[in-house]
Amino acid sequence: MSGDRRISRNFGFPARRTLPVQADWEDPSVDLKRRLRDAVPRPVADRAREVRKLVSGWKHRGDRYECPICRRSYGSMLPAGSRVDALCPGCRSAERHRKMALVLARVTPALTEPQRILHIAPEPALRMWLEAQDTVDYVCADLLRGDVDLRLDITRLDLPDDSFDGVICSHVLEHVDEDVLAMREFARVLRPGGWALLNVPHEPGRATTYEDPSITTAEGRLAAFGQEDHVRIYGRDEFLERVSRAGLSYVDSFPITPAETARFRLEATPDFDVIVIASPTG
Ligand SMILES: [Zn+2]
């Protein structure tokens, strides 16, 4: 821990109290935040979240935006880094989470038919939303996290064939060396007619995916792929080719109107994500 960065909490009054700040708190390579989160018992965390939702909802009251996850309206949202009005004051969903919720509701039978869903690296807001659905038999998994149902390597899923109706995997494949192998595993564990919601960041206009397995350092990956733990930059069409190579076929493009994008505040960066609903080719 560095003692260089400190937050002043004296609100303009003579120094009364300063708190040392974990210098690397937001560094994704430092897992302190995750470890703290894992240490909080689930019922306590859920109750705290409910209280926070009430307070925050009142603070951000209004009708400019609507969150499709917590189904409430807000006059403003919380900032995230340089993004204004990014996080839902109620459920803390980010833009892409709200978009995924809309896609799940519109394109998949997740909310209308009994569905066994495998959620990889679960986003907390989406997880709570899915767990609350009567139709969803929910299982979440992650390679490293302790707050999930299963610890799994997505390139070697220790799960039977045809055992899920749906798989959700967002912003994970760009971290995985063998992304096609992972998607093949999704195809294997999905029952015929099942669906996968796959979401990756891409570079708009890029025709081919850029990857270079010789770049293995955090600095090298940051320079080449834009993030220290990314292993490629996807081109949209080439990502869809990989989906198809993995034995999944593209199902839907789920049109969302500009008015809905504004109302639900769905995009941090327009056209940044590729969200695909795909089904096992069989
Ligand atoms: Zn919300």
Of 33 and 4, the structure prediction assigns the larger pLDDT to 33
- 90-111: per-residue pLDDT in tens? 999 999 999 999 999 998 999 9
Residue 198's nearest CA partner among 227, 241, 229 is 241
Residue 253, C-beta contacts closer than 8 angstroms, at least 6 positions apart: none
State residue 4's pLDDT score: 34
For the segment(s) 94-280, the CATH number from 1.10.340.30, 3.40.50.150, 3.40.50.850, 3.30.9.10 is 3.40.50.150
Task: Answer for the pair 273, 99: CB distance below 8 angstroms, yes or no.
Answer: yes
For helices 95-107 and 124-131, give the axis angle rounded to 10 degrees. Answer: 30
- Please spell the DSSP secondary structure of 112-138, one letter per residue: TS-EEEEEES--HHHHHHHHT-TTEEE
How is residue 58 annotated by DSSP? H
Q: Which amino acid appears at position 123 of this protein?
A: E
- Determine the distance separating the centroid of ligand 1 and the alpha carbon of 119, expressed in angstroms: 19
Using a 10 angstrom Cβ sphere, with 0-12 exposed, 13-18 middle and 19 or more buried, the burial of residue 271 is: exposed
How much distance in Å is there from the Cα of 54 to the middle of ligand 1?
11
In angstroms and rounded to an integer, the radius of gyration of the C-alpha atoms of the chain is 20
SS3 191: strand
pLDDT on residue 96: 93
CA separation for the pair 261, 272 (Å, rounded): 13
| Gap from CA of 57 to ligand 1 centroid (Å) | 9
For residue 258, report the distance from its CA to the centre of ligand 1, in Å. Answer: 19
pLDDT of residue 46: 77
- Domain segments of the chain: what residues? 1-30, 94-280
State the virtual CA torsion across 99, 100, 103, 108 in degrees, nearest 10: -170
DSSP for residue 16: -
CA distance 142 to 264: 28
Number of residues in the chain: 282
Q: What is the DSSP letter of 174?
A: G
Query: What is the residue type of 235?
Result: G
Amino acid in the structure at residue 190: L
CA-nearest of 147, 145, 140, 144 to 166 is 140
* Across 65-74, average pLDDT: 95
From the CA of 76, how far away is ligand 1's center (Å)?
12
* pLDDT band per the 50, 70, 90 thresholds, residue 22: very low
Output the CA 273–ligand 1 centroid distance in Å: 20
pLDDT tens string 196-240: 999 999 888 888 999 999 999 999 999 989 889 999 999 988 999
149-203 residue pLDDT tens: 999 999 999 999 999 999 999 999 999 999 999 999 999 999 999 999 999 998 8
What separation in Å is there between the alpha carbon of 84 and the centre of ligand 1?
Answer: 15
Q: How far is the CA of 261 from the centre of ligand 1 (A)?
A: 15
User: Cα–Cα distance between 187 and 185 in angstroms, integer?
Assistant: 5
Evaluate whether 260 touches 227 at the Cβ level (below 8 Å).
no
d(CA 35, CA 30) in angstroms, rounded, equals: 10
Q: Token digits for 79? A: 């900032």
Q: How confident is the model at residue 69 (pLDDT cuts 50, 70, 90)?
A: very high
